[in-house]
Amino acid sequence: MQFRYIASQPNGKLIQGEIEAKDEDEVLSFLGGRNLTPVSIDKLSTLKTRGLASILRRSVNISDQIFLSKYLALMLKIGTGLVEAINILITDFGKPAVKAILLEIRSALEKGDPFYSTFARYPKIFSSVYTNLIKAGETSGNLEKTFEELTEMLTKQKDLRDKIKSALIYPSLLLVGSILVLTLIIMFALPKIAGVFTEGGFKPPGFSMVVFSVGFFLNRVGFYILGVFVVILILFFRLLKSSVIFKRFVISIIGEIPVIRDVMKKIALQRFTSVFSSLIKAGLPITDALEITAEAVGNITLKESLIRISKEGLAKGLTIGEAFRREPFFPMTVTNLVAISEKAGHLADVLSTLSDFYTKEIDSSVKTMVAFLEPVLLLFIGGIIGFVALSVIIPIYQLTSVVGG
């Protein structure tokens, strides 16, 4: 039987390979004989059948990061040593990907490497904000508070993301379901109905002929069009991920829709206030905190504004309030509160309050957006279906009138 394994070497480096063995015990014996610590062992046939599900299960998501941060904060709070806490988590975590990272962290700590260094090696999993907060907490000797801050920040992000997703589920299902039904009607049902008229020598009205022609066309080449559409969709998302210019172009188009523009701006501001507040509380210099936050906000316009505040404002001697007032992206409420809190010395607390405020505002705005989208989608799709139905009903009515006459 063929097995695939992932194992950790004594120096913490992960290796993987395949081996022919009778069972998992034989694989464990093989790894033990080579001083390797097993991380995961899978039957090769099982891996082939699981496919994408196996890959997804191995990835580290935001829930894993929340769990990791929460339990590290808890164990450090009750006086557990960092290495001991990592050992407990290695035992508790069942996910191979997370366990592998924890093993690497333990190995790094045993070699005397900084705690944050392992997280820094996985920028696609742990954001620069996560890594820099841990680095700041490790430097200040206050990792417990850092992990509490990370838990709170990540939980807010996850809750906000879940709220937006749940609010958009119904409109998305409505749109996809309606398009699917409409496509099936036009591609398969409509050509058969149209064939009754065309083969019988009856000439339908002009607008009915247009709809029938579309149905005949889609019946012939619909699957090819669908294939081209799927390819375009894949290319679109790849470009959106890899090209800053294309991403900016798409965002600028979507941003022209008033309701969506409002939600997008509030999401960016909530992300900014939450992350910037956490970084300041961790003791990072303001300019460093701004540049790290700029990479995390997910909005190109806001990112450029924050970089300008850092490099063209604060670096040239402006106060935080003055630098923020030069950027039109920020509402007057934010710039005024930033300026006032800077003088009062509690900028982080004000930013945290603004983060909570924008979280509630986003929830309200998303509900408004969904309330706007649902009737618009219903009217649009209902109008198309109604037009297709009329293109069939009117010729049938005319045909029955002729036959009856």
Same-domain check for residues 89 and 180: no
Give the pLDDT confidence score for residue 53 in this predicted structure: 39
Same-domain check for residues 262 and 121: no
Same-domain check for residues 278 and 292: yes
Task: Give the model confidence (pLDDT) of 176-202 as tens digits.
Answer: 888 888 888 888 888 887 777 777 666
Same-domain check for residues 108 and 164: no
Residue 45 has pLDDT above 80, yes or no: no
Residue 133 in any domain: the answer is: no
Task: Give the model confidence (pLDDT) of 212-241 as tens digits.
Answer: 888 888 888 878 888 898 899 899 888 887
> Are 4 and 18 in contact, with CB atoms under 8 Å apart?
yes
Residue 391 in any domain: the answer is: yes
Residue 144 in any domain: the answer is: no
Same-domain check for residues 86 and 10: no
Give the pLDDT confidence score for residue 51 in this predicted structure: 43
Give the pLDDT confidence score for residue 327 in this predicted structure: 92
> Are 354 and 273 in contact, with CB atoms under 8 Å apart?
yes
Lookup: tokens for 403: 């036959």
Same-domain check for residues 329 and 396: yes
Question: How many whole angstroms separate alpha carbon 158 and alpha carbon 165?
Answer: 10
Residue 136 in any domain: the answer is: no
> Are 193 and 211 in contact, with CB atoms under 8 Å apart?
no
Same-domain check for residues 351 and 210: yes
Give the pLDDT confidence score for residue 272 in this predicted structure: 93
Residue 47 has pLDDT above 50, yes or no: no
Same-domain check for residues 198 and 86: no
Task: Give the model confidence (pLDDT) of 315-356 as tens digits.
Answer: 888 899 899 999 999 999 899 999 999 888 889 899 999 999
CA distances from residue 168 to 26, 162, 265, 375 in whole angstroms, order as listed: 50, 10, 18, 14
Residue 36 in any domain: the answer is: yes
Across 49-53, 56-60, 145-149, which has the greatest mean pLDDT?
Answer: 145-149
Same-domain check for residues 227 and 358: yes
Q: What is the mean pLDDT of the chain?
A: 83
Same-domain check for residues 109 and 160: no
Domain of 91 in residue numbering reads as: 62-126
Radius of gyration of the chain (CA): 29
Residue 132 in any domain: the answer is: no
Where does the pLDDT of residue 46 fall: very low under 50, low under 70, confident under 90, or very high at 90 and above?
A: very low
Give the pLDDT confidence score for residue 58 in this predicted structure: 52
> Are 314 and 290 in contact, with CB atoms under 8 Å apart?
yes
Give the pLDDT confidence score for residue 70 in this predicted structure: 92
Amino acid at 205: P
Task: Give the model confidence (pLDDT) of 71-82 as tens digits.
Answer: 999 988 888 888
CATH number, domain containing residue 24 = 3.10.20
Where does the pLDDT of residue 1 fall: very low under 50, low under 70, confident under 90, or very high at 90 and above?
A: low
The number of domains in the chain is: 3
Same-domain check for residues 298 and 162: yes
Same-domain check for residues 36 and 72: no
Residue 134 in any domain: the answer is: no
Give the pLDDT confidence score for residue 357 in this predicted structure: 92
Question: How many whole angstroms separate alpha carbon 71 and alpha carbon 77?
Answer: 10
Task: Give the model confidence (pLDDT) of 142-171 as tens digits.
Answer: 888 899 989 988 998 898 888 888 888 888
Question: How many whole angstroms separate alpha carbon 183 and alpha carbon 190?
Answer: 10
Residue 245 in any domain: the answer is: yes
Residue 48 has pLDDT above 60, yes or no: no
Backbone angles phi, psi at 318, to 5 degrees: -75, 155
Where does the pLDDT of residue 273 fall: very low under 50, low under 70, confident under 90, or very high at 90 and above?
A: very high
Amino acid at 112: G
CATH number, domain containing residue 334 = 1.20.81.30
Give the pLDDT confidence score for residue 307 in this predicted structure: 93
Q: Classify 36 as helix, strand or coil.
A: coil
- How much of the chain exceeds pLDDT 90, in percent? 16
Residue 50 has pLDDT above 60, yes or no: no
Task: Give the model confidence (pLDDT) of 351-372 as tens digits.
Answer: 999 999 999 999 888 888 888 8
